[in-house]
Structure 1
Amino acid sequence: MIPAANLHGRNHPAFLAEQIQMLHAPVAPTLMKLSIDLLTSAPLLPNGAATILAFHVWRYSAMPTRRHFLISFVTTPIVLPSLGHAASTPVELPLTASCADDHELTPAQTEGPYFTPESPEKQDFASDAPGGERLTLAGYVLTKKCQPVAKALIELWHADESGTYDNIGYKLRGHQFTDADGKWWFETIVPGLYPGRTRHYHVKVQRPGGNVLTTQLYFANEPGNQRDRIFNEALLLDIRATSDGKFGRYDFIVA
């Protein structure tokens, strides 16, 4: 952290650039380079300007990245109520559904008009829409007794940042299978809005030998949620802000 005394007493660009480089928290490379270039090439900054710039760089650098959330999610065992414990440290992100013995299944919703069958198997959707806001989408597939389901199918499709679906190819469309611990994740973007709907993802989930769950996932505090005729707050994502986008979590409970 940059000491407050130094911020208020030293406005010289070279000094501030050195302080930024000394930050222990990770900083997005583009922001780091831009900040240091500005500071080292500019004349002495006006009173207060250096303090404000350095503070915002520090604040940005202190935020975790999507990768940090994903690593924590992937490497930390799940705490299942039916087991009462995990193999090691409890997971940092709690289950998005209150899973207990014989808990209710994840609500089903309409497929919508833009589903395309035979999607490719992939996790990286973000490269399909490089201009969109990045979001890592992750979660578990669980049984009604809170047991993780391995090799469950997860199929995802959604609009791009402008609210448009690719109905010709497979941009922002694909599927994958849960790992041995029932975990799944996609690297994608925040979908845009299109007329008549709030912001959402479309998902299909199927455990081996089970029924297909077709549903949708939503964002909290969206103005369109209350106007959307099928919005269901039980399908809200747990969204965390990161320094390079967002991390969204949802755990499906399937039959």
Structure 2
Amino acid sequence: MSIGLAFLAALFAALTTVLAKMGIQNVDSNLATAIRTIVVVCMASLIVLATGRWDSLFAVSGTSLLYLVLSGITTGLSWICFFRAIQIGDVSKVVPIDKFSTVMTILLAFLILHEPITPLVFVGGFLITIGTLMLIGRKPDAPAQRKKATQSYLLLAVLSAFFAAATSILAKIGIEAVDSNAATLIRTVVILFFIWAIVFFQGTYREVRNITKKSFWFLVLSGCATGLSWLCYFAALAMGKVSIVAPIDKFSVVITMVLSFLVLKEKASKRTILAGVVITAGTVVLIV
């Protein structure tokens, strides 16, 4: 059950990125993230109400609440880095680097949660690492301005991966004895306040009126996809091991790459395709 939910989380995560890329054009990345978060909060609230788990929100222990709040903050930081990266860089390059959080999560799960790194987990993580490294790179004869831009979004993608890995560990600790849908709602509310505080501090909230209808609806759809991805992911996390659930969820790398080629018309080089195959192989090994 947890594996099936993790795969659904991967599909919706891939749709999230592609829809966000289409909606984030000419929109401040933090403002776009703030708008998407409102949609996710609404979805999470409706599902908690529909499942009759609203009372569970008031039964969360202080320790669990602390870890869920910290998880929400790290998610917010990951989002800020990620959506700025896809705004200035290629989705097919940014996403694989961001999803390198898979390997970081496995290592943190071993160090903090004491989950074992079996030979298959090691091989799977190694393949994902190789595939990710294959996707990182730029043409040596690229103009200086393009090199600087590339370095900028690569750094943002790496930071996004780090915060995403921290999110998985903190959420796993905080979600113990807590309904997964209620936990998702708590985390999302934290992100909502966190992101909008940044938007108001920057003063970019004034740009809402300048967002086109097309961009707005793509951001709303992206938020819906995010909500569905989270609900599937944290339900899977509550039932399975972090070191297994997280890698399957990160299979969204390959799905996103395919969608970026088909929908966003990004170029598919032989190196990119080979890297996707290697990452897929690593994910399959981790499932086994």
TM-score, normalisation: structure 1: 0.22
TM-score, normalisation: structure 2: 0.20
Higher relative contact order (CA 8 A, sep 6+): 2
Tell me which protein shows more helix as a share of its residues.
Answer: 2
Tell me which protein shows more strand as a share of its residues.
Answer: 1
Look at both structures and tell me which one has the larger radius of gyration over its CA atoms: 1
